[in-house]
C-alpha cells in the first residue's frame, strides 16, 4: 500500500475540506509539542492519506489519484453539501474512467476515479 503525504498549513482548514466536505475521518494526529507542526492520518474507506504541516514533507500543489467505487454516488453526496469553495463535476476520460477532481485549500489536486466497465 502507498500512503501519499500532502502538505497542509492549518489543521482546521484541512478538517473543513477533508472531513466535512469529502467525508474522510481523522485516524490520528501527532504533534511533538504545542505550537509545533501537526502530522495526521486521514482515511476514506480503504484509502489513507497523511497530511503534514512540516516544511519539507511535501510541496503544496501535489497531485494524487484515488480509486473509489460508485463515483456517481460520491459526486451526489458532495453536491448536496453545497461547499462554497468547490463544485466538482464528473468527467469521462479517454482512458475509460469517470473522474472527479477537487483542489484542497493548500493547492493539492485530488482526482477520485472509477473505471468504466
* 3 state SS for 42-89: EEECCEEEEEECCCCCCCCCCEEEEECCCHHHHHHHHHHHCCCCCCCC
**pLDDT tens digit sequence for 38-61:** 999 999 999 999 999 998 888 889
pTM of the model: 0.92
Q: What's the pLDDT score for residue 26? A: 98
Report the length, in residues, of the chain: 117
CA distances 80 to 17, 76, 86, Å, are 15, 6, 12
Half-sphere exposure (Cβ direction) of 91: Cα atoms closer than 13 Å: 12
Write out residues in the chain with pLDDT < 50, as ranges: none
Rounded Cα gap, residues 109 and 17, in angstroms? 12
Q: How far, in Å, CA of 86 to CA of 46, rounded?
A: 24
CA distance 105 to 14: 7
Share above pLDDT 90 across residues of the chain, in percent, rounded to a whole number: 85
- The pLDDT, as a whole number, for residue 6 is 97
Res 88: pLDDT? 94
**Strands 63-67 vs 47-52: parallel, antiparallel or unpaired:** unpaired
Amino acid at each position: 500500500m502507498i500512503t501519499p503525504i500532502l502538505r497542509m498549513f492549518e489543521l482546521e482548514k484541512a478538517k473543513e475540506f477533508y472531513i466535512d466536505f469529502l467525508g474522510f475521518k481523522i485516524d490520528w494526529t501527532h504533534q511533538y509539542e504545542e505550537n509545533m507542526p501537526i502530522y495526521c492520518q486521514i482515511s476514506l474507506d480503504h484509502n489513507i492519506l497523511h497530511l503534514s504541516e512540516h516544511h519539507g514533507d511535501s510541496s503544496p500543489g501535489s497531485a494524487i489519484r484515488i480509486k473509489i467505487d460508485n463515483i456517481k454516488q460520491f459526486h451526489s453526496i458532495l453536491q448536496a453539501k453545497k461547499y462554497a469553495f468547490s463544485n466538482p463535476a464528473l468527467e469521462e476520460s479517454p482512458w475509460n474512467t469517470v473522474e472527479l477532481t477537487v483542489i484542497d485549500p493548500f493547492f493539492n489536486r485530488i482526482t477520485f476515479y472509477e473505471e468504466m466497465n
